[in-house]
């Protein structure tokens, strides 16, 4: 893959508001999804009450941070106008619904399975749309399995977080977390292969970051898929949660930092290939 910058002056990282928003969004949505896991393990979402509170708070702060990336923050509600036609609108609506329902459910004086599960469903929709909304044709490294990694890392964080808050069912929750993190590992392996052996030439937006591709992905693998599980097994539950959160931060930095756009040369080659095929036909 070429190492020249796709844009002039791309040496400075401009996506920090998006990194912070998506980090808070993935961790918050993961915790908001814990009622489904608690229901599967215990037949009630009650053990997830405290994680849901934290999840709603993190997602709400993330939504606030996301406004810093907008030119006109007061027009943010207009982002939901394209619901049904735009994945971005679906992301905004799902995040807002998950936050509102999560806050309402968490601070009721009783457990409401309907609200808890509604918040969890909205959180999962948000994690899915968060990945799919970036699947842009011109950004080669934002397509493929990477679109499902907010979902796998978010659910994994939720499982580890629930295990930390609710230690009585550590074995059952840990088994679920192991399955989710195994799936996340598989996605990460495929993503690495796609980055190392791309189908088309593309120009990295941040060449200095792209040059550290292997180390960044290895760090992400250790912090998300390995160390949290070892922390739970060793009894360091909150250390496991902290490491996982740091891993998601690394994941989001790498997502934007490893962006690569199609080059003019690759587009010319693609068009020439189409023309050659049409002549043979």
pLDDT tens per residue across span 67-117: 765 555 545 454 555 555 577 888 888 999 999 999 998 888 888 899 999
Q: Work out whether the CA dihedral 229, 230, 236, 238 comes out positive or negative.
A: negative
pTM of structure:
0.85
pLDDT of residue 5: 43
pLDDT tens digits for range 104-160:
988 888 888 999 999 999 999 999 999 999 888 878 899 999 999 999 999 999 999
- Res 9 pLDDT > 50: no
Q: Work out whether the CA dihedral 232, 234, 237, 243 comes out positive or negative.
A: negative
pLDDT of residue 52: 95
pLDDT tens digits for range 210-233:
999 999 999 999 999 999 999 998
Domains and CATH numbers, the chain: 16-280 (1.20.1630.10)
């Amino acid at each position: 893959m070429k190492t020249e910058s796709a844009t002039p002056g791309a040496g400075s990282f401009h996506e920090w508001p998006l990194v912070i928003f998506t980090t808070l969004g993935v961790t918050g949505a993961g915790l908001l999804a814990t009622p489904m896991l608690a229901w599967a393990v215990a037949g009630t979402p009650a053990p997830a009450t405290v994680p849901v509170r934290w999840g709603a708070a993190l997602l709400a702060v993330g939504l606030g941070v996301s406004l810093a990336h907008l030119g006109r923050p007061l027009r943010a509600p207009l982002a939901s106008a394209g619901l049904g036609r735009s994945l971005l609108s679906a992301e905004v609506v799902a995040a807002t619904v998950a936050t509102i329902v999560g806050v309402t459910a968490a601070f009721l004086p009783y457990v409401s399975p309907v609200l808890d599960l509604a918040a969890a469903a909205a959180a999962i929709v948000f994690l899915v749309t968060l990945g799919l909304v970036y699947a842009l044709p011109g950004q080669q490294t934002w397509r493929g399995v990477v679109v499902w990694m907010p979902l796998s890392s978010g659910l994994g964080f939720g499982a580890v977080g629930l295990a930390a808050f609710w230690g009585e069912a550590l074995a059952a929750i840990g088994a679920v977390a192991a399955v989710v993190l195994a799936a996340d590992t598989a996605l990460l392996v495929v993503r690495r292969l796609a980055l190392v052996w791309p189908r088309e030439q593309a120009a990295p937006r941040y060449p200095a970051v792209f040059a550290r591709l292997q180390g960044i992905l290895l760090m992400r693998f250790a912090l998300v898929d390995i160390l949290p599980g070892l922390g739970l097994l060793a009894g360091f539950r909150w250390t496991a949660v902290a490491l996982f959160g740091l891993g998601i931060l690394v994941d989001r930095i790498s997502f934007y930092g490893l962006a690569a756009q199609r080059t003019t040369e690759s587009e010319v080659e693609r068009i020439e290939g189409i023309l050659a095929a049409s002549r043979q036909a």
